[in-house]
Structure 1
Amino acid sequence: MVRKYERLSGRQSWSEEDMAKAVAAVVCGKMGYKLAARTYHIPRSTLQRRASKVRYQQHEEPKPLMGNYRRVFTDTQEKDLVGYIKSMEKYFMGVTKRDIRELAYQYAEDHNLNHPFDSNTRMAGEDWVRNFLKRNPELLYKTETHGELEPVNFDQFYHFMCQLA
């Protein structure tokens, strides 16, 4: 996976605010697809797809990424993972990247999500955890006042957290 990617194309150069305004105009019946696409400078096909999702109330899906990569978790699911990790740190002192990878795999399996994680090792990839920590920098700050970290029985914690939810 590319470690530091700089985008070269001009695709998806429109803003989410313009797309939301255009979808609202189309759904309310104030404008047609063509006029709304021209007015807000967005692709008509994307506008049609987004408007149909709003009209037919499809469930929340992860925002697609450009290229071959796709998101595994929605924003709310990622917030749940962050909450689990913070409570792990609170109750069991230390969390390693390996623990986060295992937690992500178990979370995806428990929620029947389509994921590219390795089923042999039952963990998410190293690139996934690196990008997850970039998206959630509050998990990177660790206090070292506890000294040596104790090993964590991850399965016991995960089932403990499922019982609390």
Structure 2
Amino acid sequence: MVRKYERLSGRQSWSEEDMAKAVAAVVSGKMGYKLAARTFHIPRSTLQRRASKVRYQLPDDAKPLMGQYRRVFTVDQEKDLVGYIKSMEKYFMGVSRRDIRELAFQYAEDNQLNHPFDVNSRMAGEDWVRNFLKRNPELLDKSDNEMGLEPVNFDQFYHFMCQFS
């Protein structure tokens, strides 16, 4: 598994601000496609596509995902997971990384989401939980060693919380 990914390609290395400036320059007629692409260091074909969407007022596509990995949960679903974890901590139930991995698997299964988690161990991967905690740094306030609480029956708590949401 890749622990620390370093991007090799130069695709989409331009910033959205530069693209917006270039599109504005082209649409207003101040620059042509070639000059704007060279000035703002962006691909001409991408600039043409974006400018035509602005000119003809077509909805802009969502930002494309780069690479082979896809998110399992939406932003709202991850907020739900963070809420479950915080409520467990609120009721003085220790939450370890293993508990978070089990919660993620169970949540994905209950919502019938397509996920790459291990079905045999019924847990999300170590990489997933590491990146999940990076995306949600408010969960890193307490380390597993500081909690020092008794282990919790995770399934029982999860179903208890599902009844109230």
Deviation, 1:152, is: 0.6
Q: Deviations over 1:13-35 (max 9, x none)?
A: 1334566x59x99xxxx79xxx6
- Checking the alignment, whether the CA contact within 8 Å between 1:92 and 1:152 is kept in structure 2 is no
Which amino acid letter does the alignment assign opposite residue 2 of structure 1?
V
Question: Structure 2: where are the runs of 5+ without partners?
Answer: none
TM score, norm. by length of structure 1:
0.70
TM score, norm. by length of structure 2:
0.70
Alignment of 1:40-119 (within 5 A): 44=45, 64=65, 66-119=66-119
**Secondary structure at 1:140 match in 2:** helix
Alignment-derived partner of residue 15 in structure 1: 15
- Checking the alignment, whether the CA contact within 8 Å between 2:101 and 2:123 is kept in structure 1 is yes
Evaluate the alpha carbon distance shift between residue 147 and residue 92 of structure 1 in structure 2; reply closer, same or farther with a 3 A threshold: closer
> 2 CA distance for matches of 1:85 and 1:123?
16
> 2 CA distance for matches of 1:6 and 1:12?
15
> 2 CA distance for matches of 1:13 and 1:57?
19
Evaluate the alpha carbon distance shift between residue 57 and residue 85 of structure 1 in structure 2; reply closer, same or farther with a 3 A threshold: farther
Q: Between Structure 1 and Structure 2, whose CA radius of gyration is higher?
A: 2
Which amino acid letter does the alignment assign opposite residue 125 of structure 1?
G
Give the length in aligned residue pairs. 155
Percentage identity across paired residues of the two chains: 72
> 1 CA distance for matches of 2:125 and 2:137?
18
